[in-house]
Amino acid sequence: MTEKRNDDKNGPDQFSEEGSGTSRDEKQGDLSDDLSENTPDDLSGFMAKNLPGSALSSFTGPLKDALNRMQVGQGISPDESKSRSISLLSSLSEFDSDSVSTAFTFGSAGVQADHAHYFNGFALLKPMRRGTAVSVGISEGTSVRLVVGSEHESSVFELDSLQDDTQDLVVRIVREMLTSLPIPPPRGLDVAIVSAVPAGFTSAYISSLSVSLVRALEELLGIEREENERVKSINESLERVLSYPLSVAFVIASESASPDSFVLVDTETLEHLILDDSSTTVPGWALIDTQGDHETTDRAGRSKRAQEILARLQQKQFSELSSLRDLEHRDLETASHLLPRRMRPGLKYLVTENRRVQRLVAAIRNEDWQLMGGLMFMSHASRRDDWGITSPIQDFVVDEAERFTIEGVYGASQVGEGSFVLIAGQPIRLPAFLDHLRNSWPAHASGRPETFIL
């Protein structure tokens, strides 16, 4: 049984920059106060002393506007998400506090991670300021009920009444996570999910959702597991649901990261390193959904390509090569000539993308954002030319980002092997660039862009 609740059908999507649920004017006062309080005294004094009122206004006005839009575009806070999930859960039944558990985790964008779907490589991810809250409660009923929603709309599912082959991804994930627990869950169980991660940004969305769900269930049922055991269980469960490979890096990032950081993951050992991202010079990040009909769903086919490449090399002079992560860059040209021409671009993408992770980490540690952006542009070019997973509209976005490097944009690349593009730049410059994209969006494109500040 599926029930739709529409409290405000005409309301905007409060999770996107365009529809945050709070207008720009409503937040302007608070933001002005914050800006005044956080501006260094020497800069405030200089501006007040050396700029006339009109010039000062023309300087601070665009800055306030950019900061306000960044604040609004970051989506609802973790506390708001948890509060909404508890409210949705309470709409199903009345619960004692002892019979309810809530967990929240952030989603993560793979700055350099999609290649790790196909072999146990290294991955670099940027946690978003968006995540998923899950509340679970033991009810007096005899079935599992699931409510997925937001402030304006929610959908309720009774899992026992749905077909086993339902196409609803969230329902399938919840079912799989429940069956993979070390102990069986109670028959009467209610689950509420609220997420500000774009649902189409699949790897980030399902990883954040699954980690929150399992954490909440473990707390509710008193289950204790090591982190790596939980991570492997979640990842294996997701791969069963998806029927194609998912890099464990996304689950690890949701399990361990916070927004003011990068996460470097070794997907072979499951070790990870948190790279601090809290200095005053760090770039801002935006995600744009090109809303096109380009959906790269054949990950199973691409996984088969990667396995064929490795098998061919093992049959030749690389018989001891157990993974493409171990192929040295100096051996890339030799290895390429051992393959049929159709396989060579794939080998180049997989090996060079994995090697770029190390260079990205060095750029981040040195706060060399231009180099970081250049590596993002290189990644996109390889995805386009060697792996064949970009679309014309995504290429347009990245080309525009490259044109705007003199305007404070550092880099851009397709991410997620779907319709999204990740953009890095000076924080106060990103809103203007996103405006430019909307205003110059090609008329022939099949959809309009949706943007998110990370």
pLDDT reported for residue 8: 39
The DSSP-derived string for 23-38 is -HHHHHHHHHHHHHHH
Q: Does a structural domain hold residue 8?
A: no
Report the first-to-last Cα separation within the chain, whole angstroms: 35
Q: Mark whether 204 and 302 lie in a shared domain.
A: no
Read off the pLDDT of each residue in 249-267 and give the average, rounded to a whole number: 94
Band the pLDDT of 96: cuts 50, 70, 90.
confident
Q: Mark whether 134 and 202 lie in a shared domain.
A: yes
Q: Mark whether 52 and 177 lie in a shared domain.
A: no
**Residue 122 main-chain phi, psi, to 5 deg:** -95, 155
| pLDDT over 50 (residue 67) | no
pLDDT reported for residue 277: 80
Q: How many CB atoms lie within 10 A of CB 142?
A: 10
Q: What pLDDT digit, counting tens, does each position of 316-339 carry? A: 999 999 999 999 989 999 999 999
**Residue 248 main-chain phi, psi, to 5 deg:** -65, -15
The CA distance from 121 to 267, in Å, is: 6
The DSSP-derived string for 189-257 is EEEEEEE-S-TTSHHHHHHHHHHHHHHHHHHHHT----HHHHHHHHHHHHHHHHTS---HHHHHHHHH-
Band the pLDDT of 387: cuts 50, 70, 90.
very high
> Of 7, 42, 73, which residue is a domain's last?
73
> Which secondary structure element, helix H or strand E, spans residue 425, and what is its range?
strand 420-425
Q: Which two tokens stand for residue 52?
A: 């006339």
Contacts 24+ apart (CB under 8 A), 348-352: 348/382, 348/386, 349/115, 349/382, 349/383, 349/386, 349/387, 350/115, 350/118, 350/119, 350/121, 350/306, 350/309, 350/324, 351/324, 351/327, 352/382
DSSP code of residue 451: E
What percent of the chain shows pLDDT beyond 90?
Answer: 68
Q: Mark whether 102 and 155 lie in a shared domain.
A: yes
pLDDT reported for residue 154: 75
| pLDDT over 80 (residue 54) | no
Q: What pLDDT digit, counting tens, does each position of 202-212 carry? A: 999 999 999 99
- Domain span at residue 56? 24-73
Q: Is 405 exposed, middle or buried (0-12, 13-18, 19+ CB in 10 A)?
A: middle
Judged by DSSP in three states, 438 sits in helix
Q: Mark whether 222 and 349 lie in a shared domain.
A: no
Q: Mark whether 360 and 404 lie in a shared domain.
A: yes
- Mean pLDDT over each residue of the chain, to the nearest integer: 84
Q: Does a structural domain hold residue 125?
A: yes
Q: Does a structural domain hold residue 215?
A: yes
> Of 276, 295, 314, which residue is a domain's last?
276
The CA distance from 161 to 1, in Å, is: 6
Q: Does a structural domain hold residue 15?
A: no
| Total domains, the chain | 3
Q: Which two tokens stand for residue 298?
A: 């054949």
What predicted TM-score, i.e. pTM, was given to this entire model?
Answer: 0.83
Q: Does a structural domain hold residue 167?
A: yes
| pLDDT over 70 (residue 305) | yes
| pLDDT over 60 (residue 201) | yes
The CA distance from 123 to 69, in Å, is: 30
Q: What pLDDT digit, counting tens, does each position of 113-151 carry? A: 999 999 999 999 999 999 999 999 998 888 899 999 854
Q: Does a structural domain hold residue 19?
A: no
Q: Mark whether 107 and 65 lie in a shared domain.
A: no
Q: Mark whether 314 and 185 lie in a shared domain.
A: no
Contacts 24+ apart (CB under 8 A), 401-407: 401/377, 401/425, 401/433, 402/377, 404/433, 404/436, 405/370, 405/373, 407/432, 407/433
Q: Does a structural domain hold residue 5?
A: no
> Of 242, 259, 276, which residue is a domain's last?
276
Q: Mark whether 343 and 270 lie in a shared domain.
A: no
Q: Which residue has the tokens 């030319």?
A: 385
Judged by DSSP in three states, 155 sits in strand
Q: What pLDDT digit, counting tens, does each position of 9-29 carry? A: 333 343 344 443 333 343 333
Judged by DSSP in three states, 409 sits in strand
Angle between helices 202-221 and 248-256 (to 10 degrees): 60
The CA distance from 179 to 449, in Å, is: 38
Q: Does a structural domain hold residue 2?
A: no
Q: How far is CA 314 from CA 120, 311, 376, in A?
A: 17, 5, 31
- Minimum mean pLDDT range among 52-61, 145-154, 180-189, 217-226: 52-61
Instruction: Provide the CATH number for the domain around residue 109.
Output: 3.30.230.10
Q: Mark whether 114 and 222 lie in a shared domain.
A: yes
Q: Mark whether 361 and 267 lie in a shared domain.
A: no
Instruction: Provide the CATH number for the domain around residue 325.
Output: 3.30.70.890
Q: Mark whether 293 and 379 lie in a shared domain.
A: yes
